[in-house]
Structure 1
Amino acid sequence: MGLFKNKNFVVMWVGQLATIFGNRFSEIAIPLIVLQLTGSPWQAALVVVCSQVAPLVLSLPVGDWVEQNPKRQIAMFAESLSFLTMSGLVVFVWLELLNIWILAGSLLILGATGLFFKVSFGAMVPGVVGRERLVSAHSYFEGADAISTFIGPVLAGFVLSGFGVAAVLTIDAMTYFVSFLGILFLTFKENKRRNTRKQPARKSYISSLKGIKYLFANYYQTFISIQHVILNFITTAITLSIIIYTSHTLNFIEWQIGMVLSAAGIGNLVGVFLLNKINHFSWKFLYAGLMLVSSSGILLILFASELHFIMFGMFVFDGALSMAFVVMDLPDKQLHLMVI
């Protein structure tokens, strides 16, 4: 707990907790809003996918650009724009003017601002905690993620059931504001490393695309890269599918859907604890076993119709999948040694 004696780290941790907590609210609300507007699961999926467009297109050049510019200012601007965008959605709800096009456009913006915030936030962490404490810092941030995943969905479900869409989106907007304040109150001195030979934006982007080849430098790195794509796809696709399935097919109400997603948070917490007990196994066999266990959770969800069974399936699925994410980082260390 020594890091929590560092005021700057506490401010960043609270801001991160708020941001993830708010994301868990909109994670439920947005698909349900589209289902209410259109009754179409595929349109709900298309709208949600809009939040992934910017990270897909910009993820490679953003890192270089953030490294050359003030990270604190970038993070503040990103969170303020996210706050304004989410606040705009609340206004559209109150005016009864919200439609899927406004939602899609808003998610495009939120996807971009979320990417810039994530990259700039991560780049600031070493300056706040020091490189020797990075592992502990990221562990605490993972803890904030697990807490938010556990509490956020069920609370969002109850708020959505009791107070409506505007209340959920308002809470999400306020979490962006809290995160903005957290970055604003940071007092550490940022290392200003600027590249005096900046490339034009187009050349910089093309140059960053060439970095893709390092993701497929050899057989092992290709395997790891593909598996990371699969893991991220499964996380997004299954979460969205569960929301649509429980709402559209099983006719669960909002708080029940929140309970299902909160079960994933419990699985995440238990998975992190169990991983410390079994990390002595070969990462290949451990990863394969975890993917099988995660698949069994999906099957349980598909063949169940009662809330507690679906919650248990989500618990198994996300618990094993969260462990698989961590396990996939183990071969990276081995590859690093091979390169050296």
Structure 2
Amino acid sequence: MTTVADVPLARNRNFTLLWVGQGAAEVGFSASMLAFPLVVLAVTGSAAASGLVLAADAVAQAVLALPGGALVDRWDRRRIMLACEVAQAVALASLVAALLLDGVSLLHLAVVAAVLGGCRALFEPAEDALLPSLVPESRLATAVATNSARSSIGQMAGTALGGVLFGVARWAPFLLDLVTHVVAFVMLAFLRAPTRPPAESPALGREIAEGLRWLWQRGEIRVTTACAVALNLFFAAYYLVVVVLAERQGTPAGEIGVMAAMLGVGGVVGAMMAPWLHRRLSPHAAIAGVFWALAALCPLAVLADSGYLLGALFAAMALLAPTANTTIITHQLLLTPDALRGRLSGTLNVAMGGAAAAGPALGGVLAEAATPTAAVLVCAAGMTVAAIAVTVNRTLRYYPREESQCATTSPTES
């Protein structure tokens, strides 16, 4: 593995190029995701069609996640990222042109959404796998936390800009997304990453199975993945239930918007705290802490009588998650051989995508089957059970800090 100079991230040219480029792309992506259902509603008047377009994005990402991770381990990662930026820019350019000419169709919108989702299925594992070669091990945890902050900032800024730009013109949010992908491509073009020698190319299915087998044999990865799935499942359900609770209490739409934005604010502050907390907390405390914080804070939603208070609650709930993510992701990247990091990320994306889809469905069932207060308490009970399981789990109690060196074993070694 090529040695990376141990300099602060702000002076790490490659990391800065990646962070700036992808920070811009996060803004554009969030603007497009806000605009897609609004455009579909304007064109078709159908809420079901809006869901279909967003589903095309999610399904493409889910279907390609496992093969995408395997391809990332087979091909040059920087070139994959460059190709994804080009594909997304071309798709968005076609959509902007169609909207300007008033000739957009539902099929066109769905195809563009599927291209964006499919590109993320390749890009995200490629970026995750490339990161350890851009920063030294001693600064990997800080880099992971900084990327978490980037995502939260991009989501907040992109959502706000998307709403404003859609009010100007239907095509404007997608033009912003197009421009940000061009910026990201330029940043990546100047990035210098280690080249990877051509790897043997067995059948893709065999590569996927090999990666899944290796990951399953690592108890730390199995357990922390289960933790992340549980956390995302219950919180996604809880979020929908709280939105329903706020709406039934007569909370104005503006306050609900502030409530949602405060979740991002908490994520940014938490990401800024994460490197400091990561150094001071044991891995078990960092992981269990976020579960107990959510279990304790969840029931307070029934006492909040305004969107602003619910927003403050959301911000508090988001504070510790970046620390747990930093602890888990840093260790997973260092534990996993470079030749398997793409498959690690692809597999985790499948698991997280399933939780992200099942969580709102669970929340919707709870909101329909019980009163909002009862639904909140059910979510809190589920989080408490998960917190207890995390606390007593032997693997997590002895979860190690980062390895001193990156894993160098071959994919077939156990």
Name the TM-score, length of structure 1 as normaliser: 0.76
State yes or no: 1:208 paired with 2:213.
no
Of the structure 1 ranges 55-64 and 313-322, higher mean CA displacement relative to structure 2 is found in 313-322
Match of 2:187 in 1: 182
Q: Secondary structure at the match of 2:102?
A: coil
Aligned length in residues = 327
One-letter code of the match for 1:288? F
Could you tell me whether the CA contact under 8 Å between 1:293 and 1:320 is conserved in 2?
no
**Structure 1 residues 234 and 288 mapped into 2: Cα distance closer, same or farther (>3 Å)?**
closer
Match of 2:160 in 1: 154
Match of 1:225 in 2: 225
- Aligned-pair CA distance for 1:283: 5.1
Match of 1:173 among 169, 173, 178: 178
Match of 2:28 in 1: 22
**Structure 1 residues 123 and 88 mapped into 2: Cα distance closer, same or farther (>3 Å)?**
same
Instruction: Give the 5 Å matches for 1:266-285.
Output: 266-272=265-271, 279=281, 282=285, 285=288
Could you tell me whether the CA contact under 8 Å between 2:95 and 2:109 is conserved in 1?
yes
One-letter code of the match for 2:265? I
Match of 1:290 in 2: 293
One-letter code of the match for 2:70? D
**Structure 1 residues 221 and 5 mapped into 2: Cα distance closer, same or farther (>3 Å)?**
closer
Match of 2:77 in 1: 71
Distance 2:51 2:234 in 1: 14
**Structure 1 residues 190 and 227 mapped into 2: Cα distance closer, same or farther (>3 Å)?**
same
Distance 2:236 2:169 in 1: 24
Distance 1:127 1:118 in 2: 15
- For each residue in 1:55-107, what CA deviation from the matched residue of structure 2 results, as whole angstroms up to 9, or x when unmatched? 32232333332233222221111101111111222122222233433222211
Could you tell me whether the CA contact under 8 Å between 1:147 and 1:265 is conserved in 2?
yes
Of the structure 1 ranges 326-335 and 259-268, higher mean CA displacement relative to structure 2 is found in 326-335
Name the TM-score, length of structure 2 as normaliser: 0.64
Match of 2:59 among 53, 63, 82: 53
- Aligned-pair CA distance for 1:314: 4.4
Which is richer in helix?
A: 1
Match of 1:108 among 99, 111, 114: 114
**Structure 1 residues 33 and 307 mapped into 2: Cα distance closer, same or farther (>3 Å)?**
farther
Match of 2:367 in 1: none
One-letter code of the match for 1:291? L
Match of 1:10 among 9, 16, 23: 16
Distance 2:243 2:100 in 1: 24
Q: Secondary structure at the match of 2:99?
A: helix
Distance 1:3 1:273 in 2: 14
Distance 2:208 2:174 in 1: 35
- For each residue in 1:167-217, what CA deviation from the matched residue of structure 2 results, as whole angstroms up to 9, or x when unmatched? 11111111111000001112x25232222x321xxx322441354355555
One-letter code of the match for 2:182? F
- For each residue in 1:111-151, what CA deviation from the matched residue of structure 2 results, as whole angstroms up to 9, or x when unmatched? 11122222222333333333443223223222322322333
- For each residue in 1:241-282, what CA deviation from the matched residue of structure 2 results, as whole angstroms up to 9, or x when unmatched? 9999999x98948xx776454322201023345665694574
Distance 1:241 1:222 in 2: 29
Q: Secondary structure at the match of 1:80?
A: helix
State yes or no: 1:191 paired with 2:213.
no
**Structure 1 residues 289 and 335 mapped into 2: Cα distance closer, same or farther (>3 Å)?**
closer
- Aligned-pair CA distance for 1:5: 1.9
Match of 1:96 in 2: 102
Of the structure 1 ranges 20-29 and 126-135, higher mean CA displacement relative to structure 2 is found in 126-135
**Structure 1 residues 119 and 217 mapped into 2: Cα distance closer, same or farther (>3 Å)?**
closer
Please report the RMSD computed on the Cα atoms of aligned residues, expressed in angstroms. Answer: 4.0
Q: Secondary structure at the match of 1:190?
A: coil
Which ranges in structure 2 are unaligned for 5 or more consecutive residues? 1-6, 332-394, 402-413
- Aligned-pair CA distance for 1:323: 5.6
Match of 2:151 in 1: 145
**Structure 1 residues 266 and 115 mapped into 2: Cα distance closer, same or farther (>3 Å)?**
same
Could you tell me whether the CA contact under 8 Å between 1:90 and 1:166 is conserved in 2?
yes
Could you tell me whether the CA contact under 8 Å between 1:246 and 1:252 is conserved in 2?
no
Could you tell me whether the CA contact under 8 Å between 1:31 and 1:243 is conserved in 2?
no
Could you tell me whether the CA contact under 8 Å between 1:160 and 1:168 is conserved in 2?
yes
State yes or no: 1:124 paired with 2:127.
no
Distance 2:37 2:297 in 1: 24
Distance 1:118 1:273 in 2: 22
Q: Secondary structure at the match of 1:153?
A: helix
- For each residue in 1:12-57, what CA deviation from the matched residue of structure 2 results, as whole angstroms up to 9, or x when unmatched? 1110111111122123212333344455545433321322223322
